[in-house]
Amino acid sequence: MRSMTGFGKAEGQYGDDFFFTVEISSVNRKQLEVRCSLPPELSGMESLIRQRIGTFISRGSVSVKVMLRKNALGGQKIDTAFLSELVAAARKIRVESGLTPEVNVEELMSLPGVIAPVCDNADSPGLSEAFSKVLNAAGEEFGAMRSREGAALKTDLSDRANLLEELLRQIEPLAAKVPEAARKRLYCKLAAEKLQVEPNDELFAREMLFYLDKSDVSEEITRLKSHFQQLRKFFDSGEPAGRGMDFLLQEFFREITTLGNKAPSPELSALVVKFKTELEKLREQVQNVE
C-alpha cells in the first residue's frame, strides 16, 4: 500500500559544468495529473518526465521541478547578435536624447538572454541519459517515502476496520432480536384493538411473514462481513487499491443504512450512527491511498 502524497529529490551532472536537481512531489487526486517546471534548456525532457512519472505512481497530482545550474568554471554562450542589437538601440536613444553615443556594454551583458549556459540539446543521447538517471533516483526516493506513509496508513486503516468489525459484532445480536420484538409489538397492537386472530388464518400468516421479513437484517450483516474480508484483501494487495477501497466503502454505507432503516430500535440505532461515523473517518483516510 502506498500513499498518494510523497516527495523525492535527486541531483546529478552532465559533463563537468552542468548540474541537475530534480524534485518530485505529489498530493491527493482521483486521476493522475503531472505538472512540470523546466528550465528552457531542458524543455525537451517533458515527454520523458511524463512517461516516467506514470511508472512511479498511478494517480495523484504530481509536480516535477527541474533546476539546472552551471559550474562557475564552466563555459558561457554570449548571444552576440542580440547584444549588438541592444548596443545599437542604446546608442540611438542616447543620440536622440542629446547624449554622447558611448554605451556601457558590460551593463547590457547582464540583461536576461544575453549570456546563457552552454548546454547540449535535449535530443543529445548523453544529456538524456544523464537526466534520466537523476529522474529515476528522485523517483526511487519519491516511491520510498510513499511506501513509508503507506505502511502507516495501512496500520491506521486496519485499526479503524477492527473498530467497525467490533461494532458489527455488537449490532448482530441486537439485530437478531428485532423480528421477534416486531412480532410482539404487532400482537400487542392487535390485542389493544381487541382484534382476534385465528391460529389457522393463512392470509394473516403470510402477512405476518412479510411484515417480519422487512425487519430481518441477516442479509445485510452477511454482506457487511463479506465486505470486511474484501477490505482486508485490499490492505494486503501489492497493487494500487485506493479506488477499489473507496467503492467498497460506499457499499458499506449502503448496507449499514439499510440495516438501520429496517431495524430502528433505539439501542441498535445508536450503534448504527457510531458505525457510520467511524466509517466516514475510514473513508477520509482511504482518500490518501494510491
Percent of the chain with pLDDT over 90: 50
Task: Grade residue 120 by pLDDT with cuts at 50, 70 and 90.
Answer: low
Helical pair 266-286 and 242-262, crossing angle rounded to 10 deg: 170
Task: Grade residue 166 by pLDDT with cuts at 50, 70 and 90.
Answer: very high
Read off the DSSP letter of residue 38.
Answer: -
> Cβ of 181: how many Cβ atoms within 10 Å?
13
- Binning the chain into helix, strand and coil, the percentages to the nearest 5 are 60, 15, 25
Residue 250 has pLDDT above 60, yes or no: yes
Q: What is the pLDDT of residue 73?
A: 43
Residue 194 has pLDDT above 60, yes or no: yes
**In terms of CATH architecture, what is 6-72+123-147?**
2-Layer Sandwich (3.30)
pTM of the model: 0.69
How is the chain split into domains, by residue range?
6-72+123-147, 76-109, 149-286
Residue 124 has pLDDT above 80, yes or no: no
β-pair type (32-37, 60-70): parallel
Which whole number is the average pLDDT over 28-49?
90
Residue 113 has pLDDT above 80, yes or no: no
Q: What is the pLDDT of residue 276?
A: 96
β-pair type (76-78, 60-70): unpaired
Residue position matching grid coordinates 437484517: 217
Query: In 3D, which of 260, 75, 51, 210 has the Cα closest to residue 135?
Result: 51
Check if the beta carbon of residue 120 is closer than 8 Å to that of residue 126: yes
